[in-house]
Amino acid sequence: MSLALLLPAGLAALAALLLPLLLHLARRHEQTPTDFAALRWLRQKPKPRHRIRFDEWPLLLLRLLLLALLALWLAKPVLSGMDDTGPRVVVVPGVDAAAVRGQAGNSKARLHWLASGFPSLDETAPEGTPAIGSLLRQLDAELPAGAPLTVVVPATLQGADAERPVLSRTVTWTVVDGAMPSAPAPSLQPPSLTVRHAAGNDTGLRYLRAATHAWQSNAATPSSLQVGAQDEALPAITRPLVWLVPGPLPAPVVQWIASGGTALLANDSTLDGFAADATPWRDADGVAMVESAMLGKGRVLRFTRPLRPDAMPALVEADFPQQLRALFDAPSVAPGRVMATDYAPITGGATYPVAPRDLQPWLALLIALLVLVERWMATRRTRSVAP
């Protein structure tokens, strides 16, 4: 255990200790001597030499202590070497907490849930699916190097990331009966497309209609395709646009994309400065069907072939609706379900020093209490005349 100062320059405030000393010396001479007439002609004797004398020692010492503590508070003291190296047991939600407490018995192990904030096991099991890997790494970094760690997990884990946790310590990985609550499956609604085509030219339009009909879960679901001529108003920025008009892209459409829209262009639509940086769709032979690039805040997709079966056989294949929908769907969430035995942490991670304990809050509380005592001593009625 050692004491350190994060700001040693704060000790310069110790010079203020001279202030109460000077005040106590200056306030001693409140009574002035008066000469009596009968004593005027007496022979003056040499006056005795005055000694430096302080009155009310307890009050003086208390004020000196207050200033010393204030200077120490300004120096930001911290205390290290008081790390609690006792054993910890963390339990993944889904495990029977009563069984874990029964197995722990009268041991000195501290029991916690493996959840945000690491609440005590005596509290209600946290809801939701915890990020197991991230929480284990956080706990490993916060615990002292010598603290044993036991993790109690059910047979199947939810919320695991893509790799096994690498920790700085050996973990006792205990698999017991139990099940974590399953994470709700994301409900992905099919995209609602807006198609703009040239008058008298509906090439490929029937294939788009067939694909959007395949997206519907039942016949009662309204159509997710709106078709109109090229001069009609553009859709909302959140609704994808399919532009089937040959030639240069009009300025309003370019501005709509740059503001955050997503547009799928025909192969004969042109856009100045378009340079593909990704290929989101390839056929079984690896040939690019759609290429894409970013434009401002938006995204541009473009077919590489005309929307005719002779030029693009993928139009009549069974997976065309899924391939088309994948162009507009958000990236799917990586699976987080894994067998607990396959997710046991391995050693080799970095060791992090435990942060020292900050003493400033405790010093502030002590200073506040001493101020109250000092005020009581300075204003009490039984106090002597000379301070």
pLDDT digits 0-9 by tens, 230-266? 999 999 998 999 999 999 999 999 999 999 999 999 9
pLDDT at residue 146 in the model: 81
Of 242, 129, 246, the residue nearest 198 (C-alpha): 246
Burial class (CB in 10 A: 0-12, 13-18, 19+), 295: buried
Query: Is residue 48 included in any domain, yes or no?
Result: no
Q: Count helices and strands (H / E) in the chain.
A: 8, 20
- The neighbour count for residue 3, using CB atoms within 10 Å, is 12
Burial class (CB in 10 A: 0-12, 13-18, 19+), 310: exposed
Which region among 171-175, 288-292, 318-322, 381-385 has the lowest average model confidence (pLDDT)? 381-385
Looking at the structure, tell me whether residues 171 and 117 fall in a common domain.
yes
pLDDT at residue 219 in the model: 47
Which region among 18-22, 191-195, 219-223 has the lowest average model confidence (pLDDT)? 219-223
Quick one: average pLDDT of 6-22?
A: 80
Looking at the structure, tell me whether residues 206 and 299 fall in a common domain.
yes
pLDDT at residue 185 tops 70: no
Looking at the structure, tell me whether residues 118 and 61 fall in a common domain.
no
Q: What are phi and psi of 65, to 5 degrees?
A: -65, -40
**In this prediction, what percent of the chain has a pLDDT beyond 90?**
37
Quick one: average pLDDT of 82-102?
A: 84
Compute the distance between CA of residue 321 and CA of residue 253 in angstroms, rounded to an integer. Answer: 25
Local confidence band at 204 (pLDDT 50, 70, 90 cut-offs): confident
Local confidence band at 46 (pLDDT 50, 70, 90 cut-offs): low
Compute the distance between CA of residue 253 and CA of residue 260 in angstroms, rounded to an integer. Answer: 11
Query: Is residue 50 included in any domain, yes or no?
Result: no
pLDDT at residue 266 in the model: 93
pLDDT at residue 60 in the model: 82
Query: Is residue 92 included in any domain, yes or no?
Result: yes
pLDDT at residue 386 in the model: 46
Query: Where are the strands (E) in the chain, listed by range?
Result: 2-5, 77-80, 88-91, 110-113, 149-154, 156-157, 166-167, 171-176, 193-197, 225-229, 241-244, 247-248, 262-265, 269-270, 278-282, 288-295, 298-303, 338-339, 346-347, 357-358
Looking at the structure, tell me whether residues 214 and 318 fall in a common domain.
yes
pLDDT at residue 268 in the model: 92
Compute the distance between CA of residue 176 and CA of residue 194 in angstroms, rounded to an integer. Answer: 53
For residue 139, CA distances in Å to 116, 144, 334 come to 10, 10, 24
**In this prediction, what percent of the chain has a pLDDT beyond 70?**
82
pLDDT at residue 47 tops 60: no
- More confident site: 380 or 258: 258
Looking at the structure, tell me whether residues 149 and 103 fall in a common domain.
yes
Compute the distance between CA of residue 93 and CA of residue 115 in angstroms, rounded to an integer. Answer: 8
Query: What are the structure tokens assigned to 304, written together?
Result: 């590489």
β-pair partners for 176: 154
What mean pLDDT, rounded, does the chain reach? 83
Which region among 35-44, 116-125, 173-182 has the lowest average model confidence (pLDDT)? 35-44
pLDDT at residue 189 in the model: 77
Domains held by the chain: number = 3
Compute the distance between CA of residue 138 and CA of residue 69 in angstroms, rounded to an integer. Answer: 35
Quick one: average pLDDT of 296-315?
A: 93
pLDDT at residue 104 tops 60: yes
Looking at the structure, tell me whether residues 255 and 200 fall in a common domain.
yes
pLDDT at residue 336 in the model: 73
Compute the distance between CA of residue 243 and CA of residue 54 in angstroms, rounded to an integer. Answer: 95
Looking at the structure, tell me whether residues 133 and 152 fall in a common domain.
yes
Query: Is residue 224 included in any domain, yes or no?
Result: no
Looking at the structure, tell me whether residues 200 and 289 fall in a common domain.
yes
Local confidence band at 312 (pLDDT 50, 70, 90 cut-offs): very high
pLDDT at residue 13 in the model: 82
Query: Is residue 373 included in any domain, yes or no?
Result: yes
Q: Are the C-beta atoms of 102 and 163 separated by less than 8 Å?
A: no
Query: Is residue 40 included in any domain, yes or no?
Result: no
Compute the distance between CA of residue 256 and CA of residue 71 in angstroms, rounded to an integer. Answer: 62
Compute the distance between CA of residue 70 and CA of residue 54 in angstroms, rounded to an integer. Answer: 23
- More confident site: 177 or 386: 177
Query: Is residue 33 included in any domain, yes or no?
Result: no
Range of the domain at 361: 1-23+55-81+356-387
Q: Are the C-beta atoms of 88 and 144 separated by less than 8 Å?
A: no
Length of the chain as a residue count: 387
pLDDT at residue 223 tops 60: no
Looking at the structure, tell me whether residues 63 and 106 fall in a common domain.
no
Query: Is residue 31 included in any domain, yes or no?
Result: no
Looking at the structure, tell me whether residues 201 and 299 fall in a common domain.
yes
Looking at the structure, tell me whether residues 93 and 73 fall in a common domain.
no
Looking at the structure, tell me whether residues 116 and 76 fall in a common domain.
no
